[in-house]
Structure 1
């Protein structure tokens, strides 16, 4: 697969991911659809912790809680601004994503840019996320007065 085709496929994947995330912020999340973005098992890494998980009912519960938390702190929407790809082998990639998150706090709109790296595995016609590496989200939210 050419790099241009791969990049387009990743951009489409994260556009759909963004859409489902924003739908979850504005309504009841469609967890059946959202969990399909993830592989059967995955790893989550930030500067404070490394966790592993299984794509089962506990993931759905955790995601429902996460969306509720985001709504409670005034998250209005997330926007994927850019995706670049590092090829690891013919089925595994790192998607380097740049995002903008928008919050409402005391009647003011606050935008916070951030980056995340997703570990992707190509399965049939789509990607599955088998891991992600993020910065310290809580510190970023505190620095910007969200929490």
Structure 2
């Protein structure tokens, strides 16, 4: 399963960078995901379906990454933790590169833990657990802290 999962994330990385370049293939992006998925972060837990809404949300996400001058998303390492013969957790270590107009470019390392299912020889993401991306971007000066109070 490990090689299939690594191939999945090689495709993921390639499609992500293609989208950053403004040439998003949303059907190919959607093919990385199972029919249903869950996502968890400090913002909460959500679930969804792999449908037109997912493609729209993903396209908006790529547009935001371009807006904040994300230049590249690169995988440093993929480690898998098997659950059973069809499931694993893929621990993916990413490096994001950002261009900044009035300061040196920045690279940020972060990890995302993906739930992966392999059926019929094909691996797909059915969930992920991520850290606080907004806080990380603010910490590195990629986005500004909001002056609003809760």
Q: 2:116 aligns with which of 104, 116, 120?
A: 120
What is the Cα deviation at residue 8 of structure 1? Answer: 2.4
- Partner Cα separation in structure 2 for residue 99 and residue 7 of structure 1: 18
Q: CA RMSD in A?
A: 1.0
Contact 1:22 1:77 in 2 (8 A): yes
Q: Which runs of structure 1 show a deviation greater than 4 angstroms over 4 or more consecutive aligned residues?
A: none
Q: Which residue of 2 aligns with 1:3?
A: none
SS in structure 2 opposite 1:80?
Answer: strand
- Partner Cα separation in structure 1 for residue 5 and residue 34 of structure 2: 16
Unpaired stretches in structure 2, ≥5 consecutive residues: 144-150
Q: Which residue of 1 aligns with 2:47?
A: 52
Q: 2:128 aligns with which of 121, 132, 144?
A: 132
Contact 2:34 2:126 in 1 (8 A): yes
Unpaired stretches in structure 1, ≥5 consecutive residues: 1-5
- Partner Cα separation in structure 2 for residue 68 and residue 118 of structure 1: 22
Q: Which residue of 1 aligns with 2:28?
A: 33
Q: Which residue of 1 aligns with 2:92?
A: 97
SS in structure 2 opposite 1:105?
Answer: coil
Q: 1:76 aligns with which of 54, 71, 79?
A: 71
Indicate whether 1:111 and 2:85 are aligned: no
What is the Cα deviation at residue 123 of structure 1? Answer: 1.9
Q: Which residue of 1 aligns with 2:142?
A: 146
Q: Tell me which moved more, 8-17 or 97-106.
A: 8-17
Figure out how many residues of one structure are paired with residues of the other and give that number.
142
* Structure holding more helix per residue: 1
Q: Tell me which moved more, 57-66 or 102-111.
A: 102-111
- Partner Cα separation in structure 1 for residue 109 and residue 123 of structure 2: 24
